[in-house]
Each structure stands twice: as C-alpha cells, then as structure tokens.
A and B are shown apart, each in its own frame.
Chain A
Amino acid sequence: MTIQPASAPRSRLRRIPSWQITLGLALLVLGFVVVAQLQSDGPRALYASDERGPLVETAIGLQTQQDALKAQILALRTQISDLETKGQGSVAAATDLGQRLQDARLAAGLIGLQGPGIVLQLRDSEQTVLPGDNPNEYLVTASDVRTVVEQLWLAGAEGVAVNGERITTGTAILDIGGTVLVNSAYLAPPYQISAIGPPDLLDRLSASIGFRTFVQNRAQAFGIHIDVAEPSEVSLPAYAGTITLRYAQPDPSAGAGGPAPAGSTPP
C-alpha cells in the first residue's frame, strides 16, 4: 500500500494542459445548454410541428396584415380630418361642427393623446410553482390586465392603452392560451399599460383598495411583477379599429346629446 504525499493532486492538476480545462468548461456549458434546450422543448413536443407551423405562419401573416390595415385607417382618418378643417372656411356652422367633431373624436379615442400619466408593466412570475397550485396563477392573464385598466379608470385616468392598443368603449380583453387579445390584436407579454390622467394619478391608484388588493393577490401571493414608471409625458395611440355601427343607430326621437329612458323598449 502506497501513501501518496499531500501535494500529489496539486502537482497532477498542474500537469493538465490548459486546452483540456477549456474543453472541459466548454463541454460543461454545452451540457447545460443541451438540457435547457430539451426542457424548453419538452411540453411543446405534444404539439406536432407540422400541425402548428402553418397556423403560426397564418397568425403572423394576419397580424402583419392587421397592422397594415390599421395604418391605412389612421392615414385615411388624418386625410379626412385635414379636409374637414380646411373645408370649414368662414362658415360659422361648419367651424362649430368641426370643433364638436374634434371633441367627439378625442372622447372616442380616435385621436392620439399625450400628457401626464403613468405606465405599469405586468410580467409573469418567476417563482417556482408550489405543490397544489395552478401554474396559470403564476402567469399574467387577461383578468390581470383588465383589473389594472379598471383601477386606472377608477383612479381618474382619461385615456388608457395596452401595448399600443387604445382602450375604447368596445374594447374586450381576452385570454387565448397564455396570451392576451386586446381589440382582437394579439399582444405578447410583458404587458405595458399606459394611462394619461391627473398629475396625482399614481397616488390615487396606490391609495385605492382595489389596486392594493390586486397587488396583494397577484404580486405578493404569486410573484407577478408589477412595475410602475412615471415618465415626464405619456403618449397613447389613436384607436385604429372600426367605428361602423350595424345594429345601433342614433335615436331619432332624441336631440343630439339629449337623454333617453335607459334600456327601454319603444312601443
């Protein structure tokens, strides 16, 4: 039996060429990357790529088309607005109408807005899912986005947009899988919710019980990231969707802006 002197391992280490150490480290990193790749592919392996591929391509193509269509609508609306302003001339009635139209478009969200405000960002939790918990609780859902939008309105916001989609009277916010649709536009996380309002909008929001409950239920309980920024100015884009009414029409029995009995059925 031979007893090695204590310095033997160190001297053996010194003998290992540097390229072997580099190769060893590279192989170690390679191993990590391969495992990460396999893990990230794991759950998705259920969805055969030949099935998903064309659908993903179609969705991307349709979203690109949608962006182009929206840009076209905004350009046409700008041309109309310019012509209407130009056409007013010295006719007082037209000038008054033009101002009312501008106000109505501002109220509708058909004109981009800039002013004081805040931007909230919602991001998925990075916490480990606890046993018995639903993994979806750790993701930002349409319900989270809607809650923040609602709390912003209650705090006094006068305009809100989510990832560049302006919230209007017809806006639905929906879940599809782990992602969110706003105005039927597909939005990828993280979700940035921008709001314009009074200078103390953030204070009002922070003080509201509804928002504090939301933070408690989602950030503190599940680790959903809620970040808030208060830039010097917030910009909201114009709504670029349809405003054509097919079923509703102005009530001919009421003057413009006049009251009408609620939800009543005319005889």
Chain B
Amino acid sequence: MNKRRNQLSLAVVAFVLGVLVVVQLRAQEAGNGLDQLTPTELTVLVGNLNTRNDQLRAEIATTQAELATLQASDARGDTSVGQLQADLARVRAWTGLDPVIGSGVRITVTGGLDAGSVEDLINELRNAGAEAIAVNDVRIEPNSIVDGPLDGLLIGNTKLGDPFEVSAIGNPETLTGSLTRAGGIVAQLAATAPSAQLIVTPVDMLRLPATTEDLVPVHGKPQL
C-alpha cells in the first residue's frame, strides 16, 4: 500500500515536471520572436506588415495585368517587343540603371556628418518610401556605401565634400514628415552630430542620374 502511494507521488511529480519542461521549452522558442515585443512595438509591426501586404497586393494586380497582356499576344502569335520594352524600362528605372525624374525631397547637409549617419539617413529615406536616391552625383544602389573619415566621405571613388546633397524621389509630404518628425532622423542627428545642419526641402521635380556601376553579377549565376 505504502509502495503504491510512493509510486503515485513519483508519477505525479514526473508528470508536473514534464508539463513544465515542455512549457518552458515552448516559451523559450517563442521568446525569440513576437513574445519579446511590447504592445506598442507589436502595433508598429502590424502597421508595417499591413502596408507591405497592401503593396504586395498592388504588385500582384500589376503583374497579373502584365501577364494577361503577354498571354493575349502569345495567343495571337505576336512578338512581344512592346511589352518587353515597357518591362525593361520599368525594371531599369527601379534598379537605377536609367535616370529618373519625379517629386521628392532634397536634403542639404553642411558641417560634417560621419559615414554611419549618412547611411542612417539613406536607410530612413528607404523606410519612408523613397523610390530613388542620389547623393550628389551618385545614384544610390544597395552596394553604394558611404565610407571614409568625417572630412573625407566617399561613395566608391567619389568624394562628397561639404556641403553635400541627398536627393530622394517619393511622396514629398511623407518623406519630409518622416525625416522631420519629433524623434525622427533629423532630430536624432541634431543630437548626435550637433555641428551638422540638415535642411530638408520638398521639391516638385528632381532628376536623378543613372548609376555608373555594372550591377550584373559576375560570380553568381541565375538560379534555375
């Protein structure tokens, strides 16, 4: 009787232990993800995901229309030169292989900003929806990195000088609002680089150059 009670106690403890171990492991697994975010951060994340998903749905609609046009040409036995040209122009403009025009903002930077801060500014412009960015004469590509010391900033082999200009095409109100909001990048840089001055100007029409880089991979091959 006594032995039976002991076995029962042991079984209960083992069961509780098992449950707790599983709960702990699951908590740790989930702890690397969304469980670490506060409600405010989760709200920001949900907002970001919603915006991105809307953009993706719009892209699907555009791509479906493009596919339908191509399928119709194919059914008629036509060559698709016009479609190819339109698609090529779109991809080249987006990539930075061709010059583009449009409304946006110009940021004039004087007084010296370190390379990391200029990269922060470019990152913020991308986040705010900039469709094309240039720093002075250089169209910004993923591999265009601002480097060098404070008094000798470089992008590739191009020296930036003081002052220099960052131009971005996109919604002027959104870009200006995002840069100049309280706690935004301009306010942050005013605190971390007090000697620098950033003047943000909405512009109706900007013209950004094409990149001079050859962006087609040499070492990487297309995945089939």
Q: How far is the CA of A58 from the CA of B53 in the complex (A)?
A: 13
Q: How far is the CA of A106 from the CA of B131 in the complex (A)?
A: 19
Q: Would you call B94 and A243 a contact (CB within 8 A)? A: yes
Partner of A30, one of B13, B43, B126, B142: B13
Q: Would you call B80 and A94 a contact (CB within 8 A)? A: yes
Q: How far is the CA of A41 from the CA of B81 in the complex (A)?
A: 61
Q: Would you call A58 and B46 a contact (CB within 8 A)? A: yes
Taking CB atoms, residues of chain A closer than 8 Å to B209 are 259-262
Q: Would you call B101 and A186 a contact (CB within 8 A)? A: no
Q: Would you call A243 and B101 a contact (CB within 8 A)? A: no
Judged by DSSP, the binding face of B is helix
Min CB gap B203→A, angstroms: 6
Q: How far is the CA of A169 from the CA of B95 in the complex (A)?
A: 7
Interface size on B, residues (CB 8 A): 117
- The verdict on A259 contacting B91 (CB below 8 Å), with A23-B10, A93-B81, A107-B215 known, is no
Interface band, chain A: 35 or more
Q: Check: A1 CB closer than 8 A to any chain B CB.
A: no
Taking CB atoms, residues of chain A closer than 8 Å to B147 are 154, 210
Q: Check: B183 CB closer than 8 A to any chain A CB.
A: no
Q: Would you call A251 and B73 a contact (CB within 8 A)? A: no
Q: Would you call B102 and A249 a contact (CB within 8 A)? A: yes
Q: How far is the CA of A196 from the CA of B94 in the complex (A)?
A: 22
Taking CB atoms, residues of chain A closer than 8 Å to B81 are 91, 93-94, 97
Q: Would you call A72 and B60 a contact (CB within 8 A)? A: yes
Give A238-267 as 1s and 0s: 1 = Cβ < 8 Å from B's Cβ atoms.
101111111111111010111111111110
Q: Would you call A245 and B219 a contact (CB within 8 A)? A: no
Interface residues of A in 64-122 (CB under 8 A from B): 65-66, 69-70, 72-73, 76-77, 79-80, 83-84, 86-89, 91, 93-94, 97-98, 100-117
A-B pairs with beta carbons under 8 Å apart, 11 shown: A22-B10, A37-B27, A59-B46, A88-B80, A158-B215, A176-B45, A196-B219, A242-B55, A242-B58, A242-B59, A258-B210
Give the 9 A-B CB pairs with smallest separation, nearest first.
Answer: A112-B223, A107-B215, A184-B52, A260-B99, A263-B167, A115-B220, A177-B41, A172-B127, A62-B49
Instruction: List residues of chain B with CB under 8 Å of any chain A CB.
Output: 6-7, 9-10, 13-14, 16-17, 20-21, 23-24, 27-28, 31-39, 41-46, 48-53, 55-60, 62-64, 66-67, 70-71, 73-74, 78-81, 83-85, 87-104, 106, 119, 123-124, 126-127, 130-132, 134, 136-143, 145, 147, 165, 167, 169-171, 203-210, 215-223
Instruction: List residues of chain A with CB under 8 Å of any chain B CB.
Output: 17, 19-20, 22-23, 26-27, 29-30, 33-34, 36-37, 40-41, 44, 46-47, 51-52, 55-56, 58-60, 62-63, 65-66, 69-70, 72-73, 76-77, 79-80, 83-84, 86-89, 91, 93-94, 97-98, 100-117, 146, 150, 153-154, 157-160, 167-174, 176-179, 181, 183-186, 188-189, 196-199, 210, 235-236, 238, 240-252, 254, 256-266
Given contact pairs A37-B24, A91-B81, A172-B124, enumerate 10 new A-B contacts (beta carbons under 8 Å).
A26-B13, A69-B53, A76-B64, A108-B95, A176-B48, A181-B45, A184-B51, A247-B169, A250-B101, A266-B101
